[in-house]
A and B are shown apart, each in its own frame.
Chain A
């Protein structure tokens, strides 16, 4: 179980997360949704310690991650896997080297690593034909699957997904959702997923909505459409009327 208690992060004179309280049950899939710029990715990186928190706690199996130093965090990373928004594959390495990088860096030979890489690629429905391809030769969906396979090599207990379906077409999005669901069930992993996509509720166990740096809704995914919480009601239906104001300021700034 992961317990997030009053977690805050101050960035550029504003609170990106401002008192997040959330309990993430073990061996379940929890989806965190929220508007653009709501701080979902920052929260995910705070959970794993990639971004240091201003205050608050993240308790994983009784250990507060926010209090750990760099070396202690390295130990914690044994349990965690992280799938990045755009996969974050190393451009200069082939798929084989990307997926097997953890083992290759531990000193294992290519011969020893190859069967493990093949096994993990098979788990994400990729064949041997991608082994020698570079990230630039893979499609967006394939890159994300390779990113997931790379994470699976560590046999993590917890996987964090940062918007795993961003930029993908609806069919590939569904494939990725099903893949995450299969991983979840097959490997009994705790999954935390940042997403904009309401279709993922069909696969998730829990849903949390982040707004103004706080969790304003947390409940079962199966009943989310029946909730009368005004925030989740507005957000999942994409209504313009409600307590969530569209972030027009940042849109006009970008223009």
Chain B
């Protein structure tokens, strides 16, 4: 009984080490390739379009409705002690420091991270990756690095849109639905929100872009067992990326703010 338990724990520990080791080695290889080979700018721009431009609409919707809901909820709380003037700064600070980077990261994970895994995974099971190898094409330079660079660069831009639209969504709810003073809403944001709140939020989103593309590429690269295997890899990629973004968010917040 005890031996079986120790055996079970040992097997799980070895498996965890293998998984962490695999992720780490994959990242280090991408890192080394980035510094040792020519960056394929055309592929980076193509990926920026695929990850960024195509995710713009969902980022904007996330921002507008995130800001709107936040304004409503803040109003309910602040009205109890007459602190409606703080609604603007609370919405703006929440959006810039937390909600915009995290929500954008999660939304792009669902849209572009999953597509990344599915595309690379399909290339794996249809032997396209093996074909690239036999043609002596550096797979990391051709497939992985452009995705990771594009995702890291484009996420802050998407996040900026989410931030701006979050505040705009909040402003409209505050002024039109809740009939609060618009000028007071804006001036209180100017008073309490600093540039570092925005830049640190954007830095966080860059890390989230790196995380979602790293995990998305890794899970696709090691996909196996046909279409079902690609489906499983895609699901795992979204789950792991989402959890990693939330965990990384805590540590980045602790470091940056």
Contacts and interface: CB of A to CB of B under 8 A. Distances in A.
Nearest to A147: B131
Interface stretch (A76-84, A202-210, A241-249): A76-84
B126 A86 contact: yes
Of A48, A85, A88, A102, most buried by chain B (CB within 10 Å of CB) is A88
Contacts of A102: 135-137
Contact of B134 (A80, A90, A91, A105): A80
Contacts of A85: 127
B136 A88 contact: no
A79 B130 CA distance: 16
Contact of B135 (A45, A91, A150): A150
Contact of A50 (B122, B123, B130): B130
B135 A101 contact: yes
A88 B137 contact: no
Contacts of A178: none
Contacts of B181: none
A45 B134 CA distance: 10
27 contacts: A45-B130, A50-B133, A50-B134, A74-B136, A77-B135, A77-B136, A81-B134, A82-B130, A82-B134, A84-B127, A85-B127, A86-B126, A88-B126, A88-B127, A88-B130, A89-B128, A90-B123, A90-B128, A90-B131, A91-B122, A91-B128, A101-B135, A102-B136, A105-B137, A105-B142, A150-B131, A150-B135
Contacts of B133: 50, 77
Contacts of A89: 128, 131
A48 to B, nearest CB: 7
Contact of A77 (B128, B134, B142): B134
Interface of B: 122-123, 126-128, 130-137, 142
A91 B119 CA distance: 10
A154 interface: yes
A115 to B, nearest CB: 19
User: Binding site of B, secondary structure by majority: helix, strand, loop or mixed?
Assistant: helix
A48 B128 CA distance: 16
Contacts of B128: 88-91
Nearest to A102: B135
A80 B135 CA distance: 9
A101 B137 contact: yes
A128 to B, nearest CB: 22
Contacts of B137: 101-102, 105
Contact of A82 (B126, B131, B142): B131
A149 to B, nearest CB: 12
Interface string A92-103: 000000000110
Given A82-B134, A91-B122, A91-B128, 20 more contacts: A50-B130, A50-B134, A74-B136, A77-B133, A77-B135, A80-B134, A84-B127, A84-B130, A86-B126, A88-B130, A89-B131, A90-B123, A101-B135, A102-B135, A102-B136, A102-B137, A105-B142, A150-B131, A150-B135, A154-B136
B222 to A, nearest CB: 15
Interface in A178-215: none
Contacts of A90: 123, 128, 131-132
B147 to A, nearest CB: 13
Contact of B131 (A74, A78, A80, A88): A88
A154 B127 contact: no
Interface in A37-87: 45, 48, 50, 74, 77-78, 80-82, 84-86
A89 B132 CA distance: 9
Given A84-B127, A88-B128, A105-B142, A78 B136 contact: yes
Contacts of A105: 137, 142
B58 to A, nearest CB: 23
B242 to A, nearest CB: 27
Contacts of B127: 84-86, 88
Contacts of A154: 135-136
Interface string A101-114: 11001000000000
A45 B127 CA distance: 11
Contacts of A81: 134
Contacts of B131: 82, 84, 88-90, 150
A50 B124 CA distance: 13
Contacts of A91: 122, 128
Nearest to A82: B134
B177 to A, nearest CB: 46
A78 B128 CA distance: 18
Ranked nearest first, the 9 interchain pairs of A and B with the lowest CB-CB distance are A88-B131, A88-B127, A82-B134, A84-B127, A77-B136, A102-B135, A88-B128, A105-B137, A74-B136
